[in-house]
Structure 1
Amino acid sequence: MNWLELLNNLENGIVRAATQDENGQWHANVEVKKGILEAFKNGANIEFPGGFVDKDNLAPRGFSAQDNVRMVPGGSSVRRGAHVASGTIIMPPAYVNIGAYVGAGTMVDSNVLVGSCAQIGENVHLSAAVQIGGVLEPIGASPVVVEDDAFIGAGCVLVEGVVIKKGAVLAPGVRLSATIPVYDCVNERVLDKGEAIPENAIVIPGSRPSSSEWGKAQGLSMSCALIVKYRDEQSDASLELEDILR
């Protein structure tokens, strides 16, 4: 398909920038990412109202009442080629970049960034100031994925293709990347590099002593994340999303 058809199919959710295999593993859709880069190549910079300059073929999306997407006034933008499903709420200011997928019933709170090609599931809560990293290059790099029913606390930063499995909860301020270790204090293990945050895990920010002798002498510590429990009825009740908001 050409880049114009691709952008339309991305917006409609017909194709996605990453797909999940039968084993639950996520993989970048290289052809989709190539098509997005082709769209950039074929666009020309123009001035948009308000003093903005961007590619003429990647203008921000608009929504109607029939879309059942509530984008509250105040500076939010959804770029061309991003999918935003029915029942989504976008609070200002927030930004959803090209190639991203946002599932039905998800809350995108104020100052949230959903980066290029990021995959956000259904009934996810992205709290204020959450940063979901994007990835267009390198072409084969997988984007950040947040699966259904996950709750991402305020100020969390997710980058470098991390995957958050269904129902997981990240406390405010958790930072996850390919190099930040995650300690499962329940099962007494360290997650393998690149391993997804497990389903229903509750994760808090943590720190660990520096591994070098000089660092230890200076009292230095390094960032990590801690799985302190897995969801139960009590935690589910405290995280229940309000249908009335949707």
Structure 2
Amino acid sequence: MSRFTKKTALISSLVLPFAFGAAANAAQITEWNYTVDNSFTSATFSSGNGSVTEQDNELSWGSNSIRSSVSIDDVSNPPVLVTNNAEGVRGGTFVHNNQPIPAAAKRLQAFDLTSTLSLSARTPVESEGKGPSALPITFSSFFTETYNGNGCFEGSASVCDDIFSLGNPEFGGINDNGNFEFAAPSFAIDGYNYTVFLEIVGLSTLTGEQCQIANASANCIGFLTREGEVNRFESNFRIISSAVSVPEPGSLALLGLGLIGMGVASRRK
């Protein structure tokens, strides 16, 4: 047997077993345990009278007697997160206690809200405990404390609604529910890719006038909050998966058979 034929036979012996076993992916992770840690960072405030407070889960501002705040509540007793379930699971509650802040008082201007999701596989049994590093998703927001008087903008339900506008809309898009979703970086486990999405219910495209008042670009993303009320917005997580792309077994088998054929032809020569 020639040296070429020996090499061809060796390659074929390596390719063929892989070809017939390539389709046997490990089991997809179908259920996850999870925890969510929400926190505020990078808050900025205007100058003025009064004071501000900054904590991981709450920001407040205003005069000594009239104050507004935003807070985030982590989800308690989280349910099981099911892969490819469009409804998802709760990630926390964003709350804006919106009070009529005096014009001369300090007020919120911008902040980052980061939701960090930690995942641990629940089923199947052979994947139990597996998971990626913690997945942070950051919602960068600008805040507009509007004039509290007559002549509010179109769509305002109070006198007058305040406006939150999104600072990083390029990291997501509007989903089928009409809400904006952020996508975390994808990760792979045992032959499957997984991507986590964070949805803020009520976060959607604002009107041209609303974007203009918020000093944002046209078709900006944001939401309105009613003056004198406690406004709540829920966040949800969902996870989707797909098999990692591998060469088709049939193609690999043909490659192996072709190499064998080349070896036979060489031997006949």
TM value normalised by structure 1: 0.20
Q: Max radius of gyration: which structure?
A: 2
Bigger fraction of residues in strand: 2
Q: Which has the higher contact order (CA 8 A, sep 6+)?
A: 2
